[in-house]
Every structure is written in structure tokens, then in C-alpha cells.
């Protein structure tokens, strides 16, 4: 007898960092918003502002790439004093994911997921020893669109997507703003039949 499938709870996650990879460089902020839930009956979008998480973190090294830091507009000096300890922030984040994901399997979704997932998974493993998403519980919105649009992945950018798929919110490079914006994009992509 087959085990019943648990629904998936999709959580849009956006991070801002001061370099290209975790370890030598730091995650400076993390934002997350519940995008929706999928079960055997299909996908149900959530209000992306209803369940959110946002924290700023203390840098873990002195190294940074000025151009990467400039994207977020965050102040490393301020974060060195006021930012949360990474272990505490990641522990809070994991607890939040478990709470909003109760009864479902949480799946991180990002645009593109590869960058945000790299930092998110590394920080979770380094500072908490576990990931509430497991080792592979992520979905890339760029790949989802490319598949449904029948396009090569490298041909995809938000500017190539039909306007009705995009969120009306601005992409601000504030991690919570962008997580909410991308949660709307994800729900639109899940509802879109493709070409």
C-alpha cells in the first residue's frame, strides 16, 4: 500500500549577501514569504504578506565584494554591531519554517534559486546542523518558467516573461520585499498552463 503524499508548502526565500559564495562572504539579510501549498488536488496560492520572516545578520568574515554589498544597500558596520548572530537567526528561521510548514513538506523557491539556496543551505548546515528543507527541497522559478515556456534556460529573464506572470511589486533588493514579490511570481507560474 502506497504511503499518502504529504503536501508541499512553497516558501519564497530571498537573501542579500556581500559576495558570491558563503563562507568567505556573508549573508547579510534573509526574507521569506509563504507562496502557497500543493497537494493532490493542485496548487493553492497564499497571501504572500500573511506569513513572513525577515532578519539581518552579523557578517561572518571581514571579506566582501563592494559591488555585491552595494546591491543591498546594507551597512556592514551597522550589521557588525546590530545584526543577529547567524546561529540564532538560522535557528529562528528553521523554527519559523517548521511552524508554517506544519503538516506539509517545506520547499524553498527562489529566483534564481541557485544563489539564494547556496547561502541558505550552507548557513543552515553550518549554524544549526540541519535544514528544514532537507538537502534538495528547493525549486528554481527560472527553470519552472523555462520548462513551461519551452525555452532554453539561458534565454530566460524576468523581462522575457509575459507581463501577467510578473508581480506588480518592485524588486527593491530588500530581502523581504523581494521574497514577497517572488512569492507572487511563483504562484502565477504555478497557475500558468504554459505554451
Residue 154 and residue 77: Cα distance in Å, rounded? 37
Give the span between the Cα atoms of 80 and 75, in whole angstroms.
9
Q: How far apart are the first and last CA of the chain?
A: 37
Collapsing DSSP states into helix, strand and coil, what is residue 65? coil
Catalytic residue numbers, as ranges = 173
Burial 88-116 (b: 16+ CB within 10 A, else e): ebbeebbebbeebbeeeebbbbbbebeeb
Amino acid at each position: 500500500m502506497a504511503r499518502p503524499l504529504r503536501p508541499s508548502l512553497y516558501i519564497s526565500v530571498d537573501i542579500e549577501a556581500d559576495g558570491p559564495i558563503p563562507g568567505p562572504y556573508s549573508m547579510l539579510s534573509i526574507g521569506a514569504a509563504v507562496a502557497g501549498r500543493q497537494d493532490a488536488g493542485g496548487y493553492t496560492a497564499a497571501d504572500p504578506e500573511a506569513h513572513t520572516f525577515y532578519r539581518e545578520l552579523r557578517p561572518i568574515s571581514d571579506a566582501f565584494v563592494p559591488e555585491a554589498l552595494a546591491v543591498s544597500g546594507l551597512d556592514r558596520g551597522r550589521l557588525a554591531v546590530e545584526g543577529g548572530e547567524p546561529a540564532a537567526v538560522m535557528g529562528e528561521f528553521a523554527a519559523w519554517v517548521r511552524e508554517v510548514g506544519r503538516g506539509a513538506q517545506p520547499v524553498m523557491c527562489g529566483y534564481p534559486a541557485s544563489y539564494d539556496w547556496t547561502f541558505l543551505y550552507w548557513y543552515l548546515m553550518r549554524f544549526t546542523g540541519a535544514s528544514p528543507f532537507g538537502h534538495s527541497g528547493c525549486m528554481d522559478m527560472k527553470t519552472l518558467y523555462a520548462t513551461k515556456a519551452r525555452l532554453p534556460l539561458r534565454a530566460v529573464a524576468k523581462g522575457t516573461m509575459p507581463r501577467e506572470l510578473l508581480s506588480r511589486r518592485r524588486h527593491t533588493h530588500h530581502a523581504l520585499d523581494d521574497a514577497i514579490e517572488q512569492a507572487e511570481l511563483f504562484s502565477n507560474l504555478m497557475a500558468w498552463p504554459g505554451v
